């Protein structure tokens, strides 16, 4: 294990899988709420073992996932891009600089960016986002050192930026609107292949300026439970006493038949923290080939040291049982192609 250092470890690493991930809850001037996620992945094709991109004729492969949710309208717009092309000057500067595009067989494309403009200041850009982010706290090194050993023998490097003041604009139904809010950033890299692992992950931002990452990884009998907590004064604590209990209701995907909980009770008893997390929009399933996961914004009702406090967050649910196989993937892809043309390559629900 090497110590995580900045800005060095904001850059790319020679590992099997790596990703730069952002999420946020933002509001417009009328008080309407929106949520977003934007993630760029880097994978070693020979080692990662994704079943549907094994034939890609490159050693290192980039792809990206993003979403935008209009909470009031319950409208969810996902983007799944199977190929992302990185510019020659990406990862060539002292601070994080990633410039990429997601090519379609059309005459147009949108330039995407993940850039640290100066220490602690970031800029992210997609077809639906143009956001400036300012980190208000030091990075949270998961597990205390930014390196986690999991119950199944795997390990991963992992840090988070838990409090990013956010302003900019988003595109909703073809119209750009100004927004302000708070975001979260994760950067993770590991030498592990793809397997049908299961995890339930939460990023939580409370109104008292406390942030938490809560992770339940693995299946029954072989679980890793971990909470990382950034306190209002900036000091950090970690706990393995995390408990995550899914509650009713559930939402069942009409496409994959996977059942996802929409509410959870989350406790960290040794930190005197108890929370209920509520999903805001049920239909938030992402499909990457035959891999399904649920990703979306949350409201949080918490009790910390006997005091009630509310907050916002995001959940990611991976490895929930699905009936979506290769045949159904090809069938769905063909239908989308007939209906939407070349844009089917991005699996964009409209």
Note the pLDDT of residue 341. 46
pLDDT interval class at 195 (50, 70, 90): confident
- Check if the beta carbon of residue 295 is closer than 8 Å to that of residue 37: yes
Domains along the chain with CATH numbers: 14-346 (2.40.370.10)
pLDDT (average), residues 257-266: 97
- Residue 71: both structure tokens together: 């909470």
pLDDT, tens only, 309-330: 999 999 999 999 887 665 455 5
Q: What is the pLDDT of residue 52?
A: 63
Q: Supply the pLDDT for residue 337.
A: 42
pLDDT tens, 91-124?
Answer: 999 999 999 998 875 556 789 999 999 999 999 9
Residue 349: pLDDT above 70? no
Distances from the Cα of 10 to the Cα of 43, 63, 236, 293, angstroms: 16, 18, 20, 26
pLDDT of residue 340 exceeding 70: no
- pLDDT on residue 106: 58
Does residue 235 carry a pLDDT above 90? Answer: yes
Average pLDDT, the chain: 90
> With bands split at pLDDT 50, 70 and 90, how would you rate the model's confidence at 338?
very low
* pLDDT, tens only, 278-307: 999 999 999 988 889 999 999 999 999 999
pLDDT digit string (tens) for 55-101?
666 778 999 999 999 999 999 999 999 889 999 999 999 999 999 99
Task: Name residues whose C-beta falls within 8 Å of residue 239's C-beta, 6 or more positions apart in sequence.
Answer: 226, 227, 229, 268, 270, 271
Half-sphere exposure of 83 (CA within 13 A, CB side): 13
Taking CA atoms, 337 is separated from 111, 303, 333, 344, in Å, by: 24, 49, 6, 5
């Amino acid at each position: 294990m090497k110590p995580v250092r900045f800005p060095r470890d904001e850059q790319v690493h020679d590992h099997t899988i790596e990703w730069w991930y952002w999420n946020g809850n933002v509001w417009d001037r009328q008080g309407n709420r929106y949520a977003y996620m934007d993630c760029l992945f880097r994978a070693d094709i020979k080692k990662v073992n994704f079943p549907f991109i094994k034939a890609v004729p490159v050693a290192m492969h980039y792809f990206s996932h993003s979403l935008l949710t209009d909470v009031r309208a319950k409208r969810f717009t996902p983007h799944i891009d199977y190929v992302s092309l990185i510019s020659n000057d990406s990862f060539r500067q002292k601070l994080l600089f990633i410039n990429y595009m997601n090519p379609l067989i059309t005459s147009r494309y949108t330039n995407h960016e993940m850039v640290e403009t100066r220490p602690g200041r970031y800029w992210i850009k997609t077809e639906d986002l143009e956001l400036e982010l300012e980190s208000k706290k030091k990075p949270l090194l998961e597990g205390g050192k930014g390196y986690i050993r999991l119950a199944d023998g795997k390990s991963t490097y992992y840090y988070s930026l838990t409090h990013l003041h956010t302003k900019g604009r988003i595109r909703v139904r073809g119209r750009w609107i100004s927004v302000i809010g708070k975001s979260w950033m994760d950067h993770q890299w590991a030498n592990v292949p793809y397997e049908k692992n299961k995890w339930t992950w939460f990023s939580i931002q409370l109104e008292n300026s406390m942030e938490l990452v809560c992770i339940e990884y693995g299946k029954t009998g072989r679980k890793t439970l971990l909470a990382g907590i950034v306190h209002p004064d900036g000091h950090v604590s970690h706990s393995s006493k995390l408990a995550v209990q899914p509650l009713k209701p559930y939402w069942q995907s009409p496409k994959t038949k996977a059942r996802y909980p929409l509410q959870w009770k989350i406790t960290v008893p040794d930190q005197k923290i108890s929370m209920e997390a509520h999903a805001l929009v049920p239909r938030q399933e992402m499909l990457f080939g035959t891999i399904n996961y649920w990703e979306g914004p949350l409201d949080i009702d918490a009790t910390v040291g006997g005091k009630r406090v509310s907050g916002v967050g995001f959940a990611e649910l991976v490895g929930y049982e699905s009936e979506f196989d290769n045949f159904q993937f090809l069938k769905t892809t063909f239908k989308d192609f007939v209906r939407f043309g070349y844009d089917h390559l991005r699996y964009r629900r409209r």
